[in-house]
């Protein structure tokens, strides 16, 4: 298949980027439009409390209402509509469960406001369990068990990225619905605390979930400059371990990345994240953060499609990776 044919396949695909923190800032969402993406999941909240989170949701709802380019995704039918109308679907995604505080009832409130995916930890311990860089490796708390069950009930997808090993395994066992790792790679290829061991990969596959491979460079390779082929190595590994059905994309483009922030801005941001304990240096090396060569920014998504084809993936497999696998999980979880 030549470049023209791969671009035609890219145009045909429903493309879902499952983690897009940069997309919440200013008008950077337009980069995903330029990349031919159908749906993006901007990080609406991480460490905010309920009041702050509702304010952020209100800002997003206002932006979507005022735009001719955006649609709020609350069900899979809107994803198909976004594809038909050449618009960008927006999935409200929390990268932590702190916005629910210690009140299960807030899950129903957030669902009514459009939230469809909640990541239960962000690196450190919270009310639900341990993050992946926490000193301990405890599992789900009693409150955490109830949160997973309530998310299943109301129709919010459980995201286990940034979450500690035992907490992820407990959550997968407790959940009655598929779960995801929205943006994680393979530990055996890149041994970061943020990446997944084989038994975690197998467990999420047994629950019929999906792993979104991530472009953040320190989770792709230990080399100074990752390439799109390094990223596809993680896709290859997961396919061989559990099959093509469980692979998606969650690039995690963010405001500190090279090409968006200056080196000075990135260093300042890094110092703040390390000093507050949200990041640990053994997991997050200092900037510059250069995303894989070939897909350095969201507008280059078509290069990922082309690279998958060059690696030998069939058209059907490419369509599954780019969006259909996540779409299947959304159908299963959001229908309830």
Residue ranges per structural domain of the chain: 3-253+291-334
CATH number of 3-253+291-334: 3.20.20.140
Residues in the chain: 336
pLDDT at 4: 86
pLDDT at 336: 45
Cα distances (angstroms) measured from residue 132 to each of 30, 59, 93, 322: 32, 30, 19, 26
**pTM value?**
0.97
Exposed / middle / buried, residue 160 (Cβ in 10 Å: 0-12, 13-18, 19+) = buried
Per-residue pLDDT of the chain (336 residues; tens, 9 = 90+): 788 889 999 999 999 999 999 999 999 999 999 999 999 999 999 999 999 999 999 999 999 999 999 999 999 999 999 999 999 999 999 999 999 999 999 999 999 999 999 999 999 999 999 999 999 999 999 999 999 999 999 999 999 999 999 999 999 999 999 999 999 999 999 999 999 999 999 999 999 999 999 999 999 998 878 999 999 999 999 999 999 999 999 999 999 999 999 999 999 999 999 999 999 999 999 999 999 999 999 999 999 999 999 999 999 999 999 999 999 999 999 984
How far CA 106 is from CA of 76, 151, 221, 323, in Å, comes to 23, 11, 39, 29
Listed residue (319, 187, 26, 47) closest to 328, CA to CA: 319
**pLDDT of the residue at 223:** 82
Query: Which ranges in the chain belong to alpha helices (H)?
Result: 3-12, 29-34, 50-66, 76-85, 105-112, 142-154, 165-174, 198-206, 228-242, 263-275, 301-310, 315-319, 325-334
Those residues whose C-beta lies under 8 Å from the C-beta of residue 63, and which sit 6 or more positions away, are 70
Does residue 62 contact residue 114 with C-beta atoms inside 8 Å? no
């Amino acid at each position: 298949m030549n470049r023209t044919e791969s671009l035609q396949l890219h145009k045909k695909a429903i493309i879902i980027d499952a983690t897009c923190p940069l997309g919440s800032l200013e008008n950077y969402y337009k980069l995903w439009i330029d990349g031919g993406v159908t749906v993006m999941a901007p990080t609406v909240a991480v460490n905010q409390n309920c009041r702050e989170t509702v304010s952020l949701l209100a800002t997003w709802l206002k932006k979507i209402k005022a735009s001719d380019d955006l649609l709020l995704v609350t069900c899979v039918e809107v994803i198909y509509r976004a594809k038909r109308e050449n618009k960008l679907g927006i999935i409200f995604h929390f990268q932590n469960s702190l916005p629910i505080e210690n009140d299960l009832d807030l899950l129903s409130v957030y669902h009514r406001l459009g939230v469809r995916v909640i990541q239960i930890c962000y690196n450190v311990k919270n009310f639900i369990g341990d993050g992946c860089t926490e000193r301990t490796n405890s599992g789900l708390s009693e409150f955490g068990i109830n949160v997973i069950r309530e998310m299943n009930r109301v129709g919010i997808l459980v995201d286990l990225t940034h979450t500690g090993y035992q907490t992820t395994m407990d959550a997968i066992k407790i959940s009655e619905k598929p779960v995801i790792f929205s943006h994680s790679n393979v530990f055996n290829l890149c041994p970061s605390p943020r990446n997944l061991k084989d038994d975690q990969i197998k467990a999420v596959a047994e629950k019929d979930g999906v792993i979104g491979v991530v472009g953040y460079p320190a989770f792709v390779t230990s080399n100074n400059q990752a390439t799109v082929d390094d990223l596809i190595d993680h896709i290859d590994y997961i396919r061989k371990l559990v099959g093509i059905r469980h692979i998606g994309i969650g690039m995690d483009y963010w405001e500190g990345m090279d090409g968006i922030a200056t080196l000075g801005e990135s260093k300042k941001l890094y110092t703040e994240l390390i000093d507050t304990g949200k990041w640990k240096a053994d997991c997050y090396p200092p900037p510059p953060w250069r995303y894989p060569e070939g897909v350095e920014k969201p507008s280059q998504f078509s290069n990922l499609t082309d690279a998958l084809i060059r690696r030998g993936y069939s058209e059907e497999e490419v369509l599954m990776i780019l969006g259909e696998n996540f779409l299947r999980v959304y159908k299963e979880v959001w229908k309830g």
